[in-house]
Structure 1
């Protein structure tokens, strides 16, 4: 195990910058395993009881890529890019896991468009990195069975979302996409391309643009489920994406920016029925109100106050739109 890995200059500078601005000590811990493959689950941010963080790398294949990837996720957090939360439960653990897994996959792929672009600008992604990333999918994700009905294969959506992340990795470098993916996953690749086109329909260059891309991809993924004969997932009411508001919106009454939705989901914090703040413009949950009950009079009082005051009252983080 190594706690002081050798890193190239751009990654050293990124680490130094994150350590200067992150409100806790960051230690890097690297295991001895090296698979020769790159996977985005090869590292994890582990918060400690004393408030410090260990960036634990389980696979040391291309440390510069994996460590910079995790650091850039932290940098996006520090810059106010929207955070994702799962504040409610359907009371069905299996369904919760499905919605959470697909929501996280879409959120991460959109974030990886920004992270990958920064890594390429700094020369962190090399030809060797690309080959290790390709192996991380081709060697792990089972190929489709020829002539099989992919809609009946429980691994179909796993393939689709894994390939969506692969397309995000090769953004603006489509010539490097491996032909083997199209041969191994012809149906899944087609649907991954559709989601990718939705996600990248507009340039993702700001917190607002990232949030918009994620919401639109949620909608398209749920439409895809419906088309394939599956029940759509309620990403709009189950996944919270922190608000990105204009200065003007923060000064408006809460009712002009959000609707309060009474649901049958349970708030994980209060253990009671959840009250959700849904964005008026995109109909996506921004946060769950941390309240055990909410009368009509109490709701009206919230609606009457400025959006910024309610966000401050409930300690809801948000970003200001440029």
Structure 2
């Protein structure tokens, strides 16, 4: 078997990532060859501060490695991350919600990631064909008369398909997908419209699009009588602030509420800091052990946003 090697474009991306990362980033290859591409074919593995991009499936190694490296570069360049600091008390449910939230977050990231891959000629007709094969390896066509347990996965997969093609599917592909997914494809087109309503070109724009997508996804789940994500509460979305907002008191930018969910680490009552502008979870505070809650609230609200975030060791991005 021939050794898999990165092409020059991907080698350059790796060098750029290494110039921004405090440890060492490397790429390793497995030997699987499925005959399609999907975005779960690589993963990032940390080891003593160093990071390895493991490309498990080498059907299209340069595409898959560059895709993972570009995701990494977004984080290194200050694009907001999501974290999961709450638990529903049901581990299986937590894992399902986290998986859905990550898919929605990644879709918005893919506007930037796939756009860069196209700029660098890392996507051609062959990769597009392999990507469509990956879609059909993930989801089965619908029964047009009913919604089943796979509707959520269909919706996520088809919305990502639209992002991958920048909304410009060939007439043949549109016909095929519309025939196979008569309910999920129109719903995916709606979500794609939410993602692309405004340009996703800055950390602030990316955060705004993810928050809107959480809400639009829940609207669709409600229409299908399927369980909602409740992403505005369950998912902590990293803040993107102006220098003026950094200096504001916490009460001017956030409302702090008690959550029915628990703090994930301490399994105690949790308070959520909701952004006043869009009601998105921006941070989670475990309930204080000693202080009365009214004292705790007053002290927290009196701090500047910068003071609170530094105390919590909470990353944020400046606009």
State whether TM-score is above 0.5. yes
- Name which of 270, 273, 276 aligns with 1:280: 276
1:20 alignment counterpart: 19
Q: Is the 1:110–1:214 contact (alpha carbons within 8 Å) kept by the matching residues of 2? A: yes
CA RMSD of aligned residues (A): 1.8
2:221 alignment counterpart: 225
Q: How many matched pairs?
A: 316
Structure 1 segment 23-102 matched on structure 2, within 5 A: 23-48=22-47, 50-102=48-100
1:132 alignment counterpart: 130
SS in 2 for 1:148: coil
1:173 alignment counterpart: 168
Normalized against structure 2, the TM-score is what?
0.94
Q: Is the 1:270–1:291 contact (alpha carbons within 8 Å) kept by the matching residues of 2? A: no
SS in 2 for 1:232: coil
SS in 2 for 1:56: strand
Structure 1 segment 150-299 matched on structure 2, within 5 A: 150=147, 153-171=148-166, 173-175=168-170, 178-179=173-174, 180-290=176-286, 292-293=288-289, 295-299=293-297
Q: Is the 2:245–2:305 contact (alpha carbons within 8 Å) kept by the matching residues of 1? A: yes
How big is each residue's C-alpha offset from its partner over 1:34-92, in whole Å with a ceiling of 9 and x where there is no partner?
A: 111001000010112x2222211110011111001110111000111110111100112
How far apart, CA to CA, are the structure 1 residues paired with 2:229 and 2:55? 32
Between stretches 84-93 and 94-103, larger displacement belongs to 94-103
SS in 2 for 1:139: helix
How big is each residue's C-alpha offset from its partner over 1:82-139, in whole Å with a ceiling of 9 and x where there is no partner?
A: 1011110011223323322221111010101110111111111111110100100123
Q: Is the 2:101–2:229 contact (alpha carbons within 8 Å) kept by the matching residues of 1? A: no
> Unpaired runs of 5+ in structure 1?
none
SS in 1 for 2:258: strand
